[in-house]
Amino acid sequence: MKLHIDSMTCGGCARSVTATVKDVDPAATIDIDLAGKTVQIQSSHPATDFIEALDAAGFPPAQQD
């Protein structure tokens, strides 16, 4: 799944987003594009798990695909 996170503006934000994703699924594969403010997540968990966790962490995402 690809999520757009408008509030992800720096390396610290990217690390927080990564940590939040890994809290949901430690086996997830994550690819962050800080310039594009997107995160690509490969996981067997449903997208809603990540969306809810990121929202609670202060990084509300919009699902792109």
Confidence class for position 65, pLDDT limits 50, 70, 90: low
CATH number of 2-63, picked from 3.40.47.10, 3.30.70.100, 3.30.70.270, 1.20.1530.20: 3.30.70.100
Q: What does the alpha-carbon distance between residue 9 and residue 45 come to, in Å, rounded to a whole number?
A: 26
Q: What does the alpha-carbon distance between residue 1 and residue 29 come to, in Å, rounded to a whole number?
A: 11
For 9-54, what is each residue's pLDDT tens digit? 999 999 999 999 999 999 999 999 999 999 999 999 999 999 999 9
pLDDT at 18: 97
Beta-bridge mates of residue 47: none
Question: Is the pTM higher than 0.85?
Answer: yes
